[in-house]
Amino acid sequence: MFKFIICIAIAYLLGNISGGMIFGKLLFNKDIRDYGSKNAGTTNALRVFGLKAGVLTFIIDVLKSILACFIGMKLLGLYGVLLAGIFVVLGHNWPVFLNFKGGKGIASSFGFIMFLDYKIAIVAILIFVTIVILSKYISLASMLTTTLVLPISYIFFVYRNFYVLSTFFLLASLSIYRHKSNIVRLINGNENKIKIKK
* Structural domain boundaries in the chain: 2-188
Report DSSP letters for 117-157, one per residue: -HHHHHHHHHHHHHHHHHH--HHHHHHHHHHHHHHHHHHTS
Ramachandran angles phi, psi of 73, nearest 5°: -65, -45
Around 172, how many Cα atoms within 13 Å sit in the side-chain half-sphere? 17
What pTM was estimated for this model as a whole? 0.91
Q: What is the pLDDT along the chain (198 residues), one digit of tens a residue?
A: 899 999 999 999 999 999 888 888 888 888 888 887 778 888 888 888 888 888 999 999 999 999 999 999 999 999 999 999 999 999 999 999 989 989 999 999 999 999 999 999 999 999 999 999 999 999 999 999 999 999 998 888 767 889 999 999 999 999 999 999 999 999 998 888 876 555
